Amino acid sequence: MAAFAKVLLQRSKKWPPLGDVPWRRLWFFAVAVFFIFSVIGFFDDLMNMGSTPPAIALMVAFLCGLDAVLWIVAVARLPVIAMAGMVALQFVTTPVINGIARWMQATFGLTSPSAGFGVRFAAASILIVVIASYVFFVMFIRVQGIETGRIRTQLELAHGIQKTLVPPITLRTEFFEVYGISQPSEQVGGDLVDALVLPNGDVVAYLADIAGHGLPAGILMGMLKTAARTALLDAATGHPSTTLPLLLDKLNRVLPDVKEPQMYATITAFRLNRDGSAWYATAASPPVLHWSAQGDARLMQEEQYPLGLLPVEGFTGEAIELKPGDLLVVATDGVLEVCDKQEEEFGIERVERAIAADGRGPLEELAGVILRSARAFGKQVDDQTLLVIRRLG
């Protein structure tokens, strides 16, 4: 009985977890389970050729259904320790039922019905409770289906907003070519890739990743993009070496007031100047892959805190020496942490191999090769976002 109840709970994972379903909807499921397990009482009477008094058969059916409902409550609402109590209850259920049956017979003088009547009563009762169980299961599915449809509509709307906030980035200047793309997973995520041209012609491009999934991450991602663009309004007037550290410092001071305590952001940002020089800064993000036109590759990374988590200061940035044909590639965890069936991660090494095979082609095609390689390697479970920069001649 308990095992079957657990199977029902596992099957229901296609809907929201029962622990998250309000009682006003969960009671449909509980009543359906009650009726389907009450069959045990009538089946026991049927196996005894209808010799059990109808009142006792009803009592047994009621207690069997009640036991199943208690399992639903314990699994969906109570702490794990309650499982021990439910297991212990199974050892006393049969003695309790037998004791109540003896008391009912002695108190009310119940006698066994005729075989024909008893069998018909048990069979008819089984038919009634099975139909009742079916009706309540259908009602539960219908209510949950409506709720699932509402959630799906909201998710599609959120995906639409995400696509608006994070469109593919294509930008070209005299010395640099920039391409960025984000492919969302089934859930709403917080990956962000963006690039903007400063009033003096320099370019700031960055890739950020909000920790977590769902609408909170998506909303915070939109806030981060707005805050970053606002912080960069006067970036053209300062020295290029200070632009990115100031950006990270401002974001780190702004984010704590607009997010949940456990959320944070990682970021990799570049300043690409119109004279061909470049700077970069990172905050707890994956390493930057610098691929030279000669085919050499090296990883660049700064050990700095994520944004919005701790009230730290003193973010830094570093200059990058780039030659014509050099590439800078940044990928989020959604690409690097894709796992195959052996739980091996895709990793930065496979990104490097993809670049080595097609590093001189158009950036859009190169990004496509990397993303297709990641999808062929394992199932996508997170947003997959890339930022690719090439130094032009």
Report the alpha-carbon distance of residue 48 to residue 112 in Å, rounded.
11
E strand or H helix that includes residue 87:
helix 82-108
Buried b (16+ CB within 10 A) or exposed e, 122-150: beebbeebeebbeebbebbbebbeeeeee
Among residues 348, 389, 340, 390, the alpha carbon closest in space to that of 370 is found at 348
Report the alpha-carbon distance of residue 315 to residue 307 in Å, rounded.
10
pTM of the model: 0.68
CA torsion sign for 137, 140, 143, 147 is negative
Q: What is the pLDDT of residue 154?
A: 64
Report the alpha-carbon distance of residue 160 to residue 80 in Å, rounded.
39
CA torsion sign for 363, 365, 369, 371 is positive
Q: What is the pLDDT of residue 332?
A: 94
What are 68-100's pLDDT values in tens digits?
Answer: 999 888 887 788 788 888 888 888 989 999 999
Question: Quick check: 41 and 63 in contact, CB under 8 A?
Answer: yes
Residue 362's region, left for phi above 0, alpha for psi from -120 to 50, else beta, is beta
Q: What is the pLDDT of residue 183?
A: 87
What are 9-36's pLDDT values in tens digits?
Answer: 444 444 445 556 677 778 888 999 999 9
- Helix and strand numbers (H, E) in the chain are 10, 11
Name the CATH architecture for the domain at 166-391: 4-Layer Sandwich (3.60)
Residue with the two structure tokens 């990104």: 351
Q: Distances in Å between the alpha carbon of 108 and those of 55, 118, 121, 239?
A: 10, 18, 20, 96
Among residues 24, 33, 32, 34, the alpha carbon closest in space to that of 147 is found at 24
Report the alpha-carbon distance of residue 193 to residue 329 in Å, rounded.
12
Q: What is the pLDDT of residue 245?
A: 96
Report the alpha-carbon distance of residue 333 to residue 266 in Å, rounded.
11
Report the alpha-carbon distance of residue 392 to residue 164 in Å, rounded.
29
**Token couple for 267:** 């970021």
Q: What is the pLDDT of residue 184?
A: 81
Q: What is the pLDDT of residue 120?
A: 94
Q: What is the pLDDT of residue 237?
A: 87
Report the alpha-carbon distance of residue 208 to residue 264 in Å, rounded.
10
CA torsion sign for 111, 117, 121, 123 is positive
Domain ranges of the chain: 2-159, 166-391
For 200-212, the DSSP string reads TS-EEEEEEEESS
Report the alpha-carbon distance of residue 8 to residue 18 in Å, rounded.
11
3 state SS of 31: helix
Q: What is the pLDDT of residue 14?
A: 42
E strand or H helix that includes residue 192:
strand 191-197
Q: What is the pLDDT of residue 86?
A: 87
Q: What is the pLDDT of residue 1?
A: 39
The pLDDT profile of the chain, 393 residues, written as one tens digit per residue, is 344 344 334 444 444 455 566 777 788 889 999 999 999 999 999 999 989 999 999 999 999 999 999 988 888 778 878 888 888 888 898 999 999 999 999 899 898 999 889 999 999 999 999 999 999 999 988 888 877 777 777 667 666 766 777 889 999 999 999 999 998 876 667 899 999 999 999 999 999 999 877 778 888 888 999 999 999 998 888 899 999 999 999 999 999 998 888 899 999 999 999 999 999 999 999 999 999 988 889 999 888 999 999 999 899 999 999 999 999 999 999 999 999 999 999 999 999 998 988 788 899 999 999 999 999 999 998 889 999 999 997
Residue with the two structure tokens 């701790």: 310
Report the alpha-carbon distance of residue 171 to residue 361 in Å, rounded.
16
